[in-house]
Amino acid sequence: MKIAFAAEGEGISASLAYHFGRCPYYVFVELESNNIKSTTTKKNPFFNKHEEGSVPKFIAGEKAKIMITGGIGPKAIEWFDKLGIIVITAKPKELTAVLKDYLDGKLSGAKSCRT
pLDDT tens by residue, the chain, 115 residues? 999 999 999 999 999 999 888 899 999 999 999 999 999 999 999 888 767 889 999 999 999 999 999 989 899 999 999 999 999 999 999 999 999 999 999 988 777 665 4
The C-alpha torsion from 50 through 28 and 106 to 36, rounded to 10°, is 180
Question: E strand or H helix at 91, and its extent?
Answer: none
Q: Do 43 and 37 contact (CB within 8 A), yes or no?
A: no
Q: Please give the pLDDT value at position 87.
A: 95
CATH architecture, range 2-103: 2-Layer Sandwich (3.30)
Task: For residue 56, give the amino acid letter.
Answer: P
Question: What is this structure's pTM?
Answer: 0.92
What CA dihedral angle connects 18, 22, 27 and 31, to 10 degrees? 70
Please tell me the predicted confidence (pLDDT) of residue 66: 96
